[in-house]
Amino acid sequence: MLPNTGRLAGCTVFITGASHGMGKAIALKAARDRANIVIAAKTTHVNPKLPGTIFTAAQEVEAAGGKALPCAVDVRDEQQISNAVEKAVERFGGIDILVNNASAVSLTNTLETPTKRVDLMMNVNTRGTFLTSKTCIPYLKKNRAPGKIAHILNLSPPLNLNPLWFKQHCAYTIAKYGMSMCVLGMAEEFKGEIAVNALWPKTAIHTAAMEMLGGSGIESQCRKVDIIADAACSIFKKPKSFTGNFIIDENILREEGIKNFDIYEIKPGQPLLPDFFLDEHPDTITKKMESHDAVPELKEEKSQPPPKPRSGAVAETFRIVKDSLSDDVVKATQAIYQFELSGEVGGTWFLDLKSKGENVGHGEPSDQADVVMTMSTDDFIKMFSGKLKPTMAFTSGKLKIKGNMTLAIRLEKLMNQMNAKL
């Protein structure tokens, strides 16, 4: 991991969504450089499912060596943003760095995304980023002294217009790309005065929100928040001329001399979930997605044995799943899954992880399914045998999901357990 250099000592860093997760990790990294941290986030009361408040984060910042100013801020509220910026200027004398980290997500397709969820994503991601930047920019522009930091960093992806990143979660992609378009426009508008860049992880990052979304065990496929914090502080060291860039965390840290990325992994050596919006080979990604056997991977996995004959393979898969179920698995999952499979030996199948007894089988479940997954027979078998990552199957359109997305992602843990047996 990158050592602290003291480069940010005395600088004021305004971070939205800094009460937990990646925002707090950046805050703590900067605090170890003795920076002033404005913790601008909504969470003022303890949530047992999402630990951390602006006040607990402030305590951690102070303990790490920085100075903290906790501010209750919903980035959808322009007045709350203005109030927090005014408090920051009054307390610390100005603002040197803005990190737009606050974000809302719903990985649902067009017909399954409620209007209020669309409004939430647009207002938090795009509008919130724009308003917070607009409010901070007058103070950032005052940092004209040579070597003085003036930086906006948005945690948003490269503007990848490959349709596969739109087809399954159009509203989320538009809202997230709105943050990236702020980088594109503001970097040019304020060139020479303020550096404006975007940072995005190459792999999934383990946070409390990810734990809620993916369920227990998802951390083994994630990196720690430390990689984002190190990458962010590496960007802050750059001059104002370093602007308009869409930076991937691993890439900039390689430039800093980091070679061993196992230090950032929760469980070193485990396959990692690739993050959204990144193509392994941009010129050929569409063709690769059309091939059932070519899925972008972050790590080379062990060669797989020859595929089983498709005849009866679905039934065999469900037999192994049933034999592997336990009361603990049922208790931890608490969901009913329905699979609509096309192709040979397809049809409707179910996996009931809510009750004991006959938990799997052909046909519809006795109770309404929480999640319905539609895919081909071949892709179903590949998913459960580890040859096709569910994340890539979903984003490439091979897998369509209706219902509770959180429970859908939770199923991936069970799939990982099945890999060695299928």
- Residue 303: pLDDT band by 50, 70, 90 thresholds? very low
* Mean pLDDT in residue range 86-111: 95
Q: So where are the chain's domains? A: 12-282, 311-419
CA angle centred on 300, ends 157 and 245, rounded to 5°: 20
Average pLDDT over all residues of the chain = 84
Q: Which of the pair, 395 or 314, is modelled with greater confidence?
A: 314
pLDDT of residue 300: 37
Q: From CA 106, how far away is CA 409, in angstroms rounded?
A: 13
pLDDT of residue 207: 82
**pLDDT at residue 32 is higher than 90:** yes
Dump pLDDT digits (tens) for 373-395.
898 888 888 888 777 777 667 76
The CATH number, out of the four listed (3.40.50.920, 3.40.50.620, 3.30.200.20, 3.30.1050.10), of the domain defined by the range 311-419: 3.30.1050.10
* Mean pLDDT in residue range 23-32: 97
Question: Domain 12-282 is of which CATH architecture?
Answer: 3-Layer(aba) Sandwich (3.40)
pLDDT of residue 307: 42
**pLDDT at residue 10 is higher than 90:** yes
Angstrom distances, CA of residue 348 to CA of 44, 164, 308, 389:
46, 26, 21, 21
Q: From CA 148, how far away is CA 157, in angstroms rounded?
A: 27
pLDDT of residue 416: 61
On the question of a common fold for 12-282 and 311-419, the answer reads no
pLDDT of residue 101: 97
Task: Give the residue numbers marked as catalytic.
Answer: 172
DSSP single-letter state for residue 274: B
pLDDT of residue 99: 98
Q: What are phi and psi of 16, to 5 degrees?
A: -85, 150
Task: Report yes or no: 341 and 399 within 8 Å, Cβ to Cβ.
Answer: no
Strand partners, 196: 152
Range with the lowest mean pLDDT among 285-289, 362-366, 418-422?
285-289
DSSP string across 109-174? -GGGS-HHHHHHHIIIIIIHHHHHHHHHHHHHTT--STT---EEEE--------GGGTSS-HHHHH
* Mean pLDDT in residue range 85-108: 95
**pLDDT at residue 302 is higher than 50:** no
**pLDDT at residue 189 is higher than 60:** yes
Dump pLDDT digits (tens) for 105-154.
988 889 999 999 999 999 999 999 999 999 999 999 997 545 578 999 99
pLDDT of residue 299: 37
Is the entire prediction scored with pTM above 0.85?
A: no
* Mean pLDDT in residue range 16-31: 96
Task: Report yes or no: 318 and 350 within 8 Å, Cβ to Cβ.
Answer: no
Sequence-distant (6+) residues with CB within 8 A of 368 are: 336
